[in-house]
Amino acid sequence: MTELIKKLLGWCPVKERITKEEGFMFSNKNQTLTWIRSNSRIFLGIVHLAFAAYLISTALLVLSEPNTRMFPWWTMDINFVASGLLLTIGIISLAISFSFVRRDNSYDNVCKILALANIALALAFFAYLHQYMAHIRYGGVAVLIERPLSNYTFDQPTLIAYSLLIALPALLSILMLFRSTTGSHIHESRKKSYLMIGITVLLVAVTSVGLGSYYNHLNQQKASILVGEFGADQDIKLYALNDDFVAGTWMGGQGVSYFIDSKDFTSGRFISEDTYDAIRFLEDVKGADAAVVMAWWDPALEIEAGGKTPVIRYASASIEHTVARPTAISELEPDERVADVARFLVTDSVDEARGIAEKYDATIVYMPRYYKGLFWVITEALDQKPDMSSQSEFERLYEQSMCCKFVSGSEIEHFEKIFENDDVCIYRLG
């Protein structure tokens, strides 16, 4: 009787079954979507946590290196700025990871803000390091792990890849959060979101203060070992390195007693007592005709500390790829000038070398003993590259060159040797 009445009122058992099935399927679909979204949040939370651990540990490893990282000056600046950006991104990623493990969406808005902040910081990281790229080439995926621990010496492709890598979790979060629907948030959840942002900002501020204090400490330590200032504006600094300073570093047992540096230059370097003697000797070489010095650009800071003017102070655009870490691209020397200095060193003709020196009014030749290690770089600057396809060809070219004669301290026609020790030879054009 009941079924008869329901049928008279329009009830259809088949339709009811379909409606129940549709309701069941809709319910299952909602449960599936909820499960996917919930697990996506957990996955992204884990990704953020892993990246936070990686970025924070990487930055701290760079900053905890021996205090020789303060030299040269740009190394310390780059390490601190780049590490500070990575620490900030890591702290924000840590906050996002804690927010994402919640299965509701009460922290979605704060996560959007933090993810956008991380993307902006990754762009800042790229923009900053792009000014100081290494121009030597590296290969392999391992470079993404190794380069941050080597003064952030990225070339352009790896810098782009690394910047994208550290921004990846934030990009994934933005895509997920803006695709998901934002539900209404209760006032309490909004308070928690503000608290989460506040805690994140506080952590970043504390980290920044800590970095600033550590940076100031290293600067004070550097000032305490300053032994001399050179140059017209006293902008070239000489620092004495004691045994405690070099202990546990690659410099231990290398006989390096000093570091010479300048914020207006690009080639600060560790030098020995013998090299310091050569600098002091240059200071004592008097006369207007002894003002210009022929040398490759690497020891230019030593030459200027000796009160003289090097023919070249830096590399040229054609050999920019040989420079490990340029810090002032605008200071590149003209190609012709650098090529002439290279020809002066590579030629086997004393007369040609003399002619090149006279072209630039150079009467002094400053020759560090390590020039053989730079010989391949010097040949890169030549207009016509010599054949160095084998080690024997390289050795033959070097042994015939003026560079080899100067380095070995040989007696050379037209050039009088006026100074020699284990690290440097100095000649005067006769």
pLDDT digit string, tens, across residues 325-351: 665 556 789 999 999 999 999 999 999
Among residues 267, 302, 282, the alpha carbon closest in space to that of 364 is found at 282
Query: Taking the CA atoms of the chain, what radius of gyration do you get in angstroms?
Result: 32
Q: 71 — phi, psi (to 5°)?
A: -115, 145
pLDDT value, residue 202: 93
The secondary element (H helix, E strand) that includes residue 83 is helix 73-100
Inter-axis angle of helices 335-346 and 350-359, nearest 10: 150
Q: Which SS3 state, helix, strand or coil, does residue 240 take? A: strand
Inter-axis angle of helices 391-400 and 371-380, nearest 10: 100
83 burial via Cβ count (<10 Å: 0-12, 13-18, 19+)? buried
Q: Check: CB of residue 290 under 8 Å from CB of residue 307.
A: no
pLDDT value, residue 247: 67
Q: Check: CB of residue 423 under 8 Å from CB of residue 405.
A: no
Record the tokens describing residue 225, joined without a space: 């070992």
The Cα-based distances of 253 to 69, 247, 378 in angstroms read 18, 9, 28
Q: Check: CB of residue 428 under 8 Å from CB of residue 290.
A: yes
How many CA atoms does the CB half-sphere of 21 hold within 13 Å? Answer: 6
Record the tokens describing residue 356, joined without a space: 């090149």
Neighbours of 430 (CB within 10 A): 10
Can you tell me the distance from the alpha carbon of 174 to that of 138, in angstroms, rounded to the nearest whole number? 32
Q: Which residues of the chain have pLDDT under 50?
A: 5-10, 21-26, 28-30, 32-36, 182-187
pLDDT value, residue 306: 93
401 burial via Cβ count (<10 Å: 0-12, 13-18, 19+)? buried
Task: Report the side by side order of strands in the sheet with 226-230.
Answer: 226-230, 236-240, 258-262, 269-271
**Measured at the alpha carbon of residue 38, what is the angle toward residues 34 and 39, in degrees to the nearest 5?**
120
pLDDT value, residue 187: 47
